[in-house]
Amino acid sequence: PIHPYRNGRLAVDEIHTLYWEECGNPLGVPVLFLHGGPGSGLSVKHRQFFDPAYYRIVLFDQRGAGQSTPLGEVRNNTTQLLINDIERIRNMLEIDQWLVFGGSWGSTLALAYGQAHPERCTGFVLRGIFLCTKPEIEWFLNRIQWLFPEVYAQFVADIPEAERTDLLRAFGRRLFGGDPTESLKAARAWGRYEGRCLHLLPRPEVADQFGSDAVALGVGRLEAHYFLHDAFLDDDQLINNIDRIAHLPATIIQGRYDVVCPALSAWRLHQAWPQASYFMIEDAGHAAFEPGICQALVAATERFRLTGRL
């Protein structure tokens, strides 16, 4: 376990206040951790991917997530604003450049941030790649049922049959319709759905955690919000702009049996960015703490520590 040596709250506008923390070596090599979701928030375990004697580890809860307030808030919540938040944190901490580490939605945000500010990045560690394209959103909402039919059935149980042809907007009406009870119920269904699909082998405690109010409100509301707006990105923007960061070291780590963010997205990213190292973990699903994925992530931060390469 690693404990922060400094933390705080940063008001970024009239609505949102972000929680941030620093761990490890205050004089070490800066690394930025970007959590998934959007809306999943931080775990204390996220600090442990990095050698605390070497790295200055910066973590924060994105708008509407974790300990940032208000939880689940979608107003003033866009990818561009999250990129601006990262820059505000970097400037506040007087960091010139940092290694950027992100998985799932964190990989989306890492790529978007890097392409907006390549001069601030020393490299990228990316896991469970999500490019937030329409086919990926369609997969998450409607195609996972081919592998998890009973989980999917529970996900859509409260959506009338007639509304299931556009499941995203059906959930949107409930999540953002103004009825707090209905919104929470829909968020719990969304969170449990994702939580039950994260691992290669069942982890019921994770599904329960994702179905809890503290996680579900962030995950359900923010994921639906970002999906409804295609993550505020142009079509295939993260692939089309890869030349902006192609000169930087990077590693792509992907679980073969990742159902939440299937391997095709990681493969597409690697085809566009052949200079990046590419590791397919053959006995893993989506989650960062699948044993093989966790080992590969730590190995990547150790390679960067020892060689400056990824």
| Active site amino acids | 104, 258, 286
Residues whose CB is less than 8 angstroms from the CB of residue 161 and which lie 6 or more positions away in sequence, other chains included = none
Residues comprising the chain, all counted: 310
Other residues' Cβ atoms within 10 Å of the Cβ of residue 65:
30
* DSSP letters spanning the chain: ----SEEEEEE-SSS-EEEEEEEE-TTSEEEEEE-STTTT---GGGGGGS-TTTEEEEEEPPTTSTTSBSTT--TT--HHHHHHHHHHHHHHTT-S-EEEEEETHHHHHHHHHHHH-GGGEEEEEEES-----HHHHHIIIIIGGGT-HHHHHHHTTTS-GGGGGGHHHHHHHHHSSS-HHHHHHHHHHHHHHHHTTSSSS--HHHHHHHHSHHHHHHHHHHHHHHHHTGGG--TTHHHHTGGGTTTS-EEEEEETT-SSS-HHHHHHHHHH-TTSEEEEETT--S-TTSHHHHHHHHHHHHHHHHHS--
Other residues' Cβ atoms within 10 Å of the Cβ of residue 180:
8
Residue 55 has phi, psi (to 5 degrees) of: -100, 145
Distance, CA of 50 to CA of 55 (rounded, Å): 7
